[in-house]
Structure 1
Amino acid sequence: RRFLVLFSLCLIVPAAGYAQDPLGEARRLYNGGQYEAAERAARLALANPGTANGARVVLGRAQLERYRETDAPAELAEARAALREVDPRTLDPRERVELTIGLAEALFLEDRFASAAEIFAAALEASRTLGTVAYERVLDWWATSLDRHAQLLRAPDREAIDRRISERMQAELAQAPGSSTANYWAVASVRNIGDVDAAWNAAMAAWVRAGLAPDRGVTLRSDLDRMVVDGIIPDRAARLELKDPTAAAAGMLSEWELFKSNWTRK
């Protein structure tokens, strides 16, 4: 949702990249979103005992992304097998973090959300070594895993999880106020708790902070706008218990549109 990568150099000289450094090429293609090509390069790297384990990490994660694209069960099964065969003793610290993230993603895609959240939580700090974008992705995976798990629980148990997400995102925002992931989940978690007025105010705060993000909040603001228009405004209007909440909702929408206009770069 919030993690866009430029692909412009991915297809210039793939054959040379494969021959010289298939594992490095597999990583580059994976990071560029070229998952099918990354899978092919990783399979070439499997032939070299010195790079085979690192190749299995990239192969497994590429197959997970292919599963997300195709919903083909074979992709998930093959990804699981590749990750399961990795010998972590031969990996460098960065590769071990990538393996851990891959294991958590696989659990998430099996709908084992609570288990995935546990692994994502343990990998969060270590994922900082992979860069800010990777850290934000792991943070988003963690929050999404908890959110999906919470949807399966009774209301009192859901609230405890939503508060956990909210507290973590507030801590993140104290360190990185422009974090797209933290801003999004700071609003979503409060809305899920049921405090619609707090969610309304949090959405406005997140909209303003979005300007601090590297992309000036383009992706985050689209997500926030959808949440406010489709969720927070109807929730606030319904809470008023009016016979016809249409006028109240229209007034809130007008207020939101004016706010956005005032706080959007022209």
Structure 2
Amino acid sequence: MRICRFTTGDDPRFGLVDGAGEKIAEISGDPLYTRIELTGETFEVADVRLLAPVIPRSKVIAVGRNYADHAAEMGTDVPAEPMLFLIPNTSVCGPGDPVVIPAALTQEVSYEAELAVVIGRMCKDVAAEDAQSVIFGYTVANDVTARDLQRGDGQWARAKGMDTFTPLGPWIETDLDVSDLSVRSRIDGEVRQDGTTADMVHGIGAVIAHASAAFTLLPGDVILTGTPAGVGRVEPGQRVEAEVEGIGVLENIFVSDADDEGTD
């Protein structure tokens, strides 16, 4: 089942997307908290604006260096345990939204295509083998990073957490075997990353067990599971696509906030 969040110019709505990704059947309420019931209204995907499929009410948890090839290209070791960091929920944006680079803060921004996990119920101390029972579904993420701030700050809060730096979408897939899915990114149509979830150092069960040992997980929390090799710099004006097999393509244009400055 594919669940999207969308608008026709009014308040956000939720819907079920067909297998072709072309039609939406509207449902009532937020499916994370209410039973899924069809309203009877249908829409063409091309006629609506897709929004981030979930806006975490609590947190985004990300896993660093969870692909050995990416750790190697960054000149770092693979952590013995999942290396977790938090991203504020205010960094989330949706498919088609501009990713805004604050020119006064960073001059080196990069993309990271990732599989994202959406938590479906409140939980704590989840065993790795029970992780599937707390997962609502999966979506695509781009873990945008200001590399200069990441190096200079000594921690990753600003580098990963600025407004619009966590695009999610295009929808949530609730029924998916994520053991071996391709994870790709493209800049202006050119492939930059081409990996597979089978190469995760720490699997999703282990990540959820590790995270839930430290934090209570809440419905709508999002876990970013790491990125394969091939990350690099993106410039204002470039279009970045992050794609996970079985889910879809998340596309965003990167812009500089300096472009919005008026002239006298």
* Higher RCO (CA 8 Å, separation ≥ 6 residues): 2
Structure with the larger helix share: 1
Provide the TM-score with structure 2 as the length reference.
0.22
Structure with the larger strand share: 2
Provide the TM-score with structure 1 as the length reference.
0.22
